[in-house]
Amino acid sequence: MDSWGILFAALGYLLLLFVVASIGDRDRRKSRSPVFRSAIYALSLAVYCTSWTFFGSVGYAATSGLDFIGIYLGPVLMLTLGFPLMRHIVRVAKAERITSVADFLAARYGKNTTVGVVATIIAVLGTVPYIALQLKAISSSVDILLAGTQPSILAIQGAPVDTSVAITVLLAVFAIAFGTRHADATEHQGGLMMAVAMESIVKLVAFLAAGLFITFAIFDGFGDLVTQATESAYVQSRSPMRVDIATLSVFTLLSFCAFVLLPRQFHVSVVENHSMAELRTARWLFPLYLIAINLFVVPVAIGGLLIFGDSVNADGYLLALPLLNGSVGLSLLVFIGGLSAATAMVIVACVALAIMISNNLVLPLLLKNRPRMENGDPAKARSGMAANLLRIRRIAIFATLALAWIYYRVADDSAALISIGLLSFAAVAQFAPAFFIGLVWRRATALSALAGMLAGFSVWSYTLFVPTLLPPEASLMLNGPFGIEALRPQALFGVDAAPLNHGVFFSLLCNTVALVIATLWREAYPLEQVQAERFAISGQIATRREPSNEHGITIADLRHAVASYLGPEMTEHAMASFHESRGERPGNREQADSNLIAHAEQLLASAIGAASARLVMSLLLERNAAQGDSTRQLLNDASQALQQNHDLLRTALDQVQQGLCVFDSDLRLASWNRQFLRLLDLHEDEIVSGLPLDTMAAIINSRCGDTLSDDELTEALSETSSTAVLKLAQDGRILESVANPVPAGGLIISWSDTTERVAAAEALQTANETLENRVQQRTEELTRLNVDLDAAREAAEAADISKTKFLAAVGHDILQPLNAARLYTSSLVERMADTPEREMAGNVDSALESVEDILGAVLAISRLDAGVLAPTYSTFPVKRVLDRLETEFRPIADAKDLHFDVRKSDEFITSDFSLLNRMLQNLVSNAIKYTSVGDVELQVRRDADNIIFEVHDTGQGIDLESREAIFQEFRRLEGGKRAASGLGLGLSIVQRLATTLDHKLYLTSAPGEGSVFTVAVPRAEPLDLPVAQTQGQSKSRKSLTGLSVICIDNEPALLDGMRTLLSGWGCQVHTFEGSGPLLASLDGIDPQVLLADYHLNNEDGLSVISAVRERLGEGFPTVLVTADRSADIKQTTRDLDIALLNKPLKPAALRALLARHHSKMTKDAARDMQAAQ
């Protein structure tokens, strides 16, 4: 691929990002749409997915297995199980005007500057390898596209140019253009976030496109990949599907922490958050994004191993595979996807780090330049600070990228992308103890945070960072410092573990232990206590101290100090709003009180961070205070006073019975009480400070069923001295709202529940109605209730019918495997006709036949309930039933040492053989099951019109009170539960069968004396039945020799069983699974009979028979085999002259049918020959 093409593609893409960001900054109206903004926020979180995800996950899967999943499991856990924690972090950051993760830590620990400095240094040193990772990924992808021999060299006009240098410069310029437009770090970067969101879409589309191409174009789908991987010894040796639990756990822990603590992630997820609605959207949308971008990681890794093996770096498989197959366009798309993954991370990370460096490193040094502040004009010394901030941040961006490039060149070039990324994850994980413990343990101090971070970072540097700069054979790596092997960087104290697991364990252990010890070492300072309460998940400040006024700071001094960082216009507006809210108009020469000082500090924090804002105020106070020692005390007093005032106001508002919400002059929500949330059934995460009135009106309107438009409700709520009435859709409560103006500008809206008052008025009106109307109303109500009752009953009946129809419909699938087994055993019986094993095979066949009968009976009952099947009555000898029952149950009775007596009879009866046999099976089975000692008898006697079957046992017996209960479904007596296991369905089935067949069922029993179940079946006149003989069977078998039979079924097992059975009878068998292959092969076959299953794939047996008869003639012999016993099927087969056999298929019936067809064809052929002669 041409180098100029790659260069122009990259530049064009970066230009597109700049255009998108510019549009996002200008289009303010669209960016305020909650749905659009939530989607942008969720997609911008995907800056988490860097080139590590895009290229490195494939490389890691190819070399180390599935442990990479932990990298994405951590963020999912944070946004799901850890959602309350995430929500609390965002709320605290908004309240404290936090600008970065270092600012968060500094503010939590008493706005300590040193904490911010240390956190910033750790963040920079931990992020530099991560940025180097992006440079390496982009450079490697360029090398693969160029297929050059000199790594990272791009030839432009014949001169070699280091691509990593060019990329570094481009990214630096781009990051400055995107991220240093405003001095206020808390101002939302709408254009930047829109560009990042677009990059998230680009890299997802590129990865999915490449994954689909590799999986389905290069290979033949997932199945082909799995098959080739299974057959490849090389792939199996790499074990791409293995999982190491320890490594997976460490990855999950690191990613859980990094999702919040990485500078870029904190900036995107916390600083750029507008509302809790955005966080709730990200709770489900971002995990879906992570799943989507990882769908093809393993297939691409396996494909790369199969094609390239070790000849290509596994991190480059995603790019190299399309390129190898000539897909240049897709390769360029993958390159752009990798570029977008890298640029998004670099831009946001550099912006976040630049803010941290300027606010926590450079500004404290500048502000502590006391001589300049004292000898010169303070206002002049501070003038132009906003421009200086931007200049500092731009220099910080260049410096950060320069460090990243140096690390990329110095570090071991063989390190995989994911290894570099994990190094950064482990570095920022050193914030975790101070960050998370500080939210729950109020005693933690700045000293403990510093001790923990320094101890952990030192161990991280020694065990993880230094080894990346040294060759493996270095003396320090092999022997430890000064030859002390116990202190080897990757085997401290002889612990043998993976380098990452080893380093993370010892660094976090030392970090946490140091934090705990330092916390117990000294008590927290007053300001640390105040900040601990503000950051704690729960808690209030218990004491209040009167603020000191021993200082010389005027209101003008505060205005000048704030204006130098925020600008005069924003400062004047903020100060005026503060004074108006307090109902005062002070002069500039008046002394500032502690509340105004605290407010000014918060304004400064939004631009330069909490720690630097604290330092600015400290220097200002030191310059003006009467005594230097009063400076810190004054700031502590101001912070405590502000917190106390806030808590006092919150407590007072919460005690009011009405719901209250206050809006500022811009009609943005400023405060509210708990009653407001309770009355309107609002969640705490739906309402946040700064929420516009129209957005809140839309939320409230959704609770009221949208009876008004959002604009109409906004107008009604904002109209002062008027009442708006709303009715909640969920519980019907009626609320009234009254809006009143605030002197300083804005609104205060009060909410009251008037449901009882309105209900009382309606009740009074109802009472005034005439008695006749009330009676008519009651009558209509009863009529309506009756109608509802009828509808409910019909619905219940319909549900029951639906259930039984479903059971009837699944009969085909249930009987298919048993039908195949019966075909196999029938063939086996015939093949063993003259062997000693014939009796055993016959018993297996008989048992399978019984199982088929049982399942068939249950399904038949379901069809009876559904109204689609009636019993099939026939006349048969009683002996046929008794012989089968004796064969089935005598071995069972013998096994229990029970005397089993069957009284034979030569009578004939009229019934459904299968259903009657099922009834008696259940009765005899229960008798044997619940009889421990004694006899079980099956007796037959005759009365006037019936044959009486009696099942006697000497079991436990049944008392009179339980005789009805035992026929209920799933009901078993306590004695029966102890005697044997079961479901309690047997007697329920017996009773339903008796009702279905119209046979009378009786029970005689007494506890301790056994039971007698009696079934009365109509008697029939004897029939002359043929006697089955072996010779006849043999003759029948011989009569099928040479018969050509076609079998079609969609179940291979059934086809195989049919082939085995029919071949044993001497038939020539041809099997097919569909009409296509059958019709294509029909000319090469001379078939005589077609056996077709009714349920086939995408067709049915009747259509297949019709197609065959079109080719072979309308009179061609055909047989339809089905489990469907409906009247429609029977009528259709009769009309079309098609023989019908029902499942479960009886081999004897099939043999007889085929014999008739064969005999008829033989006679027809003989007659035709005689006619021809």
Q: How confident is the model at residue 560 (pLDDT cuts 50, 70, 90)?
A: low
Distance CA 351, CA 176 (A): 8
Residue 8 lies in a domain: yes
Which residues lie across from 1096 on neighbouring strands?
1099
Q: What b/e string do you get for 334-349 counting C-beta neighbours within 10 Å, with b at 16 or more?
A: bbbbbbbbbbbbbbbb
Residue 645 lies in a domain: no
Of 441-455, 608-622, 701-715, 1141-1155, least confident by mean pLDDT is 608-622
* Residue-wise pLDDT tens digits, 875-899: 889 888 888 888 888 888 888 888 8
Residue 511 lies in a domain: no
> Where is 848: in which H helix or E strand?
helix 838-866
Same domain, 696 and 593: no
Q: How confident is the model at residue 546 (pLDDT cuts 50, 70, 90)?
A: very low
Instruction: Tell whether the model's pLDDT for residue 421 goes beyond 90.
Output: no
**Of 1022, 1011, 966, the residue nearest 989 (C-alpha):** 966
Same domain, 1009 and 1040: no
Same domain, 579 and 683: no
CA dihedral 349, 353, 355, 356 (to 10 degrees): 140
Across the range 545-551, mean pLDDT stands at: 44
Residues 6+ apart with CB under 8 A from 593: 547, 549
Same domain, 931 and 963: yes
Q: How confident is the model at residue 380 (pLDDT cuts 50, 70, 90)?
A: very low
**Of 1132, 1104, 1112, the residue nearest 1048 (C-alpha):** 1104
| DSSP assignment of 632-687 | HHHHHHHHHHHHHHHHHHHHHHHH-SSEEEEE-TTSBEEEE-HHHHHHTT--GGG-
| Top-confidence residue, 377 or 603 | 603
**In contact, 418 and 136? CB cutoff 8 Å:** no
The DSSP 8-state label assigned to residue 554 in this structure reads B
**In contact, 696 and 677? CB cutoff 8 Å:** no
Across the range 1042-1061, mean pLDDT stands at: 87
**pLDDT confidence of residue 510:** 95
Question: Which runs of consecutive H residues, i.e. helices, occur in 218-262?
Answer: 221-231, 233-238, 245-261
Residue 314 lies in a domain: yes
Instruction: Tell whether the model's pLDDT for residue 371 goes beyond 60.
Output: no
**Of 876, 884, 878, 880, the residue nearest 852 (C-alpha):** 884
> Where is 210: in which H helix or E strand?
helix 190-213
Residue 837 lies in a domain: no
Same domain, 67 and 178: yes
**pLDDT confidence of residue 414:** 47
* CA dihedral over 535, 749, 641, 602, signed as positive or negative: positive
**Is 735 strand, coil or helix?**
strand
Residue 601 lies in a domain: yes
Distance CA 179, CA 45 (A): 17
Which residues lie across from 1001 on neighbouring strands?
1015
Residue 776 lies in a domain: no
Residues 6+ apart with CB under 8 A from 720: 739, 740, 741, 747
Domain enclosing residue 46, as ranges: 3-367+382-429
Cα 187–Cα 189–Cα 194 angle in degrees, nearest 5: 155
Last residue of a domain, one of 707, 737, 767: 767
What tokens appear for 130 in the block? 């991560």
Same domain, 936 and 1077: no
CA distances from 240 to 245, 302, 314 (A): 15, 7, 12
Instruction: Tell whether the model's pLDDT for residue 626 goes beyond 70.
Output: no
Place of tokens 């936090």: 98
Domain count within the chain? 5
Instruction: Tell whether the model's pLDDT for residue 588 goes beyond 80.
Output: no
Q: What b/e string do you get for 780-819 counting C-beta neighbours within 10 Å, with b at 16 or more?
A: eeeeeeeeeeeeeeeeeeeeeeeebeebbbebbebbbebb
Place of tokens 């063939």: 827
pLDDT over 90 for what percent of the chain? 13
Residues 6+ apart with CB under 8 A from 770: none
Q: How confident is the model at residue 980 (pLDDT cuts 50, 70, 90)?
A: low
Same domain, 901 and 1001: yes
Q: Which amino acid is at 900?
A: F
**Is 185 strand, coil or helix?**
coil
Same domain, 1011 and 1051: no
> Where is 844: in which H helix or E strand?
helix 838-866
Of 1-10, 807-816, 863-872, least confident by mean pLDDT is 807-816
Q: How confident is the model at residue 1037 (pLDDT cuts 50, 70, 90)?
A: very low
Which residues lie across from 753 on neighbouring strands?
735
**pLDDT confidence of residue 1164:** 77
**Is 1050 strand, coil or helix?**
coil
Last residue of a domain, one of 748, 767, 786: 767
Tell me, rounded to whole angstroms, the distance of Cα 177 from its chain centroid.
38
Residues 6+ apart with CB under 8 A from 789: none
Residue 508 lies in a domain: no
CA distances from 116 to 99, 356, 449 (A): 12, 8, 10
Distance CA 478, CA 455 (A): 24
| Top-confidence residue, 881 or 608 | 881
* Residue-wise pLDDT tens digits, 986-1008: 787 888 888 888 889 888 888 88
Q: What b/e string do you get for 1010-1022 counting C-beta neighbours within 10 Å, with b at 16 or more?
A: bbbbbbbbebbee
**N-term to C-term CA, the chain:** 84
**pLDDT confidence of residue 721:** 67
Instruction: Tell whether the model's pLDDT for residue 735 goes beyond 70.
Output: yes
What tokens appear for 28 in the block? 């303010």
* Residue-wise pLDDT tens digits, 860-880: 556 656 555 567 788 889 888
The edge-to-edge listing of strands for the beta sheet with 1068-1072 is 1068-1072, 1044-1048, 1089-1093, 1118-1122, 1139-1142
- Domain at 256, CATH number: 1.20.1730.10
**pLDDT confidence of residue 551:** 52
Q: What b/e string do you get for 295-329 counting C-beta neighbours within 10 Å, with b at 16 or more?
A: ebbbbbbbbbbbbbeeebbbbbbbbbbbbeeebee
Same domain, 986 and 1052: no
The DSSP 8-state label assigned to residue 584 in this structure reads -
**Sheet strands (E) in 677-802:** 723-727, 734-741, 747-753
**pLDDT confidence of residue 432:** 94
**pLDDT confidence of residue 1157:** 83
Of 2-16, 71-85, 477-491, 985-999, least confident by mean pLDDT is 2-16
Instruction: Tell whether the model's pLDDT for residue 44 goes beyond 80.
Output: yes
Last residue of a domain, one of 631, 665, 699: 631
Distance CA 392, CA 364 (A): 13
Q: How confident is the model at residue 434 (pLDDT cuts 50, 70, 90)?
A: very high
**Is 489 strand, coil or helix?**
coil
**pLDDT confidence of residue 569:** 62
**pLDDT confidence of residue 628:** 43
- Domain at 686, CATH number: 3.30.450.20
Mean pLDDT of the chain: 77
Q: How confident is the model at residue 506 (pLDDT cuts 50, 70, 90)?
A: very high
| Top-confidence residue, 947 or 974 | 947
Same domain, 927 and 977: yes
Across the range 1030-1035, mean pLDDT stands at: 40
**pLDDT confidence of residue 208:** 93
* CA dihedral over 933, 935, 938, 941, signed as positive or negative: negative
Same domain, 688 and 606: no
**pLDDT confidence of residue 532:** 83
What tokens appear for 326 in the block? 């000539």
**Of 657, 656, 617, 663, the residue nearest 636 (C-alpha):** 617
Across the range 232-261, mean pLDDT stands at: 86
* Residue-wise pLDDT tens digits, 1101-1142: 899 999 989 888 888 899 999 877 777 888 888 888 898 888
Distance CA 366, CA 391 (A): 14
Q: How confident is the model at residue 1040 (pLDDT cuts 50, 70, 90)?
A: confident
Distance CA 473, CA 479 (A): 10
Instruction: Tell whether the model's pLDDT for residue 273 goes beyond 50.
Output: yes
SS (H, E, C) 962-979: HCCHHHCCCCCCHHHHHH
Distance CA 885, CA 738 (A): 85
Instruction: Tell whether the model's pLDDT for residue 117 goes beyond 60.
Output: yes
Which residues lie across from 910 on neighbouring strands?
875
Same domain, 1115 and 1084: yes
**Of 537, 528, 543, the residue nearest 644 (C-alpha):** 543
The DSSP 8-state label assigned to residue 745 in this structure reads S
Distance CA 862, CA 369 (A): 92
Q: What b/e string do you get for 1125-1152 counting C-beta neighbours within 10 Å, with b at 16 or more?
A: beeebeeebeeeebbbbbbbbebeebbe
Distance CA 830, CA 1065 (A): 9
Distance CA 670, CA 657 (A): 19
| Top-confidence residue, 791 or 1108 | 1108
CA distances from 415 to 243, 250, 418, 1097 (A): 21, 19, 8, 54
Cα 258–Cα 259–Cα 263 angle in degrees, nearest 5: 70
Place of tokens 């590590």: 52
Q: How confident is the model at residue 209 (pLDDT cuts 50, 70, 90)?
A: very high
Distance CA 991, CA 1013 (A): 11
**Of 343, 285, 339, 259, the residue nearest 72 (C-alpha):** 259
What tokens appear for 748 in the block? 């205060």
Place of tokens 């079309």: 1136
**In contact, 409 and 367? CB cutoff 8 Å:** no
- Domain at 1003, CATH number: 3.30.565.10
Distance CA 55, CA 140 (A): 10
**Of 731, 723, 725, 752, the residue nearest 681 (C-alpha):** 731
**pLDDT confidence of residue 624:** 57
Q: How confident is the model at residue 73 (pLDDT cuts 50, 70, 90)?
A: very high
* Residue-wise pLDDT tens digits, 129-144: 788 878 777 777 777 7
